[in-house]
Amino acid sequence: MTIKKYLDKLPDLTGQEILITGGTSGIGLAIVQHLLYKGASVVILARNLTKAEVVKVSLLHDYPNASISIIEYDQSKEEIITKAVQEINIKHSKFDAIILNAGIFASKNSAYQYGEMGLTIKTNYYGLYLFCKQLLADNHYAHRFIFQGSLVAGLPMKANSSLSEKNISSWQQYVIAKSGVAALFYHWCTNYQGPSSFYLVEPGITSTDIIRDFNVVIRFLGKWFLKIFPNSNQKAALTALLSLTEKTANRSFIIPRGLFAFSGYPKIVPFPKKRRKEYLYQMLLEEEKSLE
């Protein structure tokens, strides 16, 4: 089956408004292209507005009748998160779904000031939490919250007493952050009482732009691994598209069907108990309290 044939089997999205973070490159851009192909209106939440405008022009060349809007959004900065939520509530309050795709891989020492979390954890986990929390509190329409997870959430982590410990390596920060995304998904699936629904999708392994920030060894191994298990951004984006269909139930966990979920077309599977990691959510609340 080709990617186009798979997309053609999915329901049309005309009339739906889909928001996406991290939609100007890599898997996020592929998701945007699929959304436009299916007829959706797209709102791209982007950190780099100049780059987002260039991407928008390119997309409109391919989809001249498309509806594409841009909102400034930086998941590492609380004031911009709040501003983005306010703009969403004013201009796009009845959006149908938001695909939470933004993420980074920063160096170990990337932090704002003493006592704060490393940049990877603060952006990928804490910032995501603040953004969703504000949206859920301030907007009472029904939306689909689609979390972009990762295979690394299933990897073991070193024990840490807090999210801001100084001995957390770059890689462990990334594992904690992605495990935290799964913990957020599980928390809201379990505790949220309201009209919105929640989905966790994983793209498998692909040549996502984030690999450029890994250390030399991981980049080298990653390039060889991708030659063995090829999974294009276009195919990796399909798990997010499946989460948008009416037949996909609330609380669905969607992964590629290939060997070890490295690649392949999407399938819905039970959410593993080992991914719940509720202690990570409690650590997040403790961190939030200490930063107040």
Which of 224, 153, 163 has the alpha carbon at shortest distance from 186?
153
Q: Angle at CA 91, nearest 5°, toward 66 and 101?
A: 65
Q: What is the pTM of this model?
A: 0.92
Sequence length of the chain is: 292
Which domains, and CATH codes, for the chain? 3-291 (3.40.50.720)
Contact criterion met (CB below 8 Å) for 185 and 147: yes
SS3 of residue 79 by DSSP: helix
pLDDT per residue as tens, the chain (292 positions): 899 999 999 999 999 999 999 999 999 999 999 999 999 999 999 999 999 999 999 999 999 999 999 999 999 999 999 999 999 999 999 999 999 999 998 876 665 444 578 899 999 999 999 999 999 998 889 999 999 999 999 888 888 888 988 888 888 999 999 999 999 999 999 999 999 999 999 998 876 545 555 555 454 445 555 555 567 899 999 999 999 999 999 999 999 998 778 788 999 999 999 999 999 999 999 999 887 7
pLDDT at 166: 80
Give 148's strand partners.
201
For residue 121, what pLDDT is reported? 93
10 Å CB burial of residue 43 (0-12, 13-18, 19+) is buried
Query: 204 — phi, psi (to 5°)?
Result: 85, -155
Q: Which residues contact 224 (CB under 8 A, 6 or more apart)?
A: none
In DSSP terms, which residues pair with 199 in a beta bridge?
146
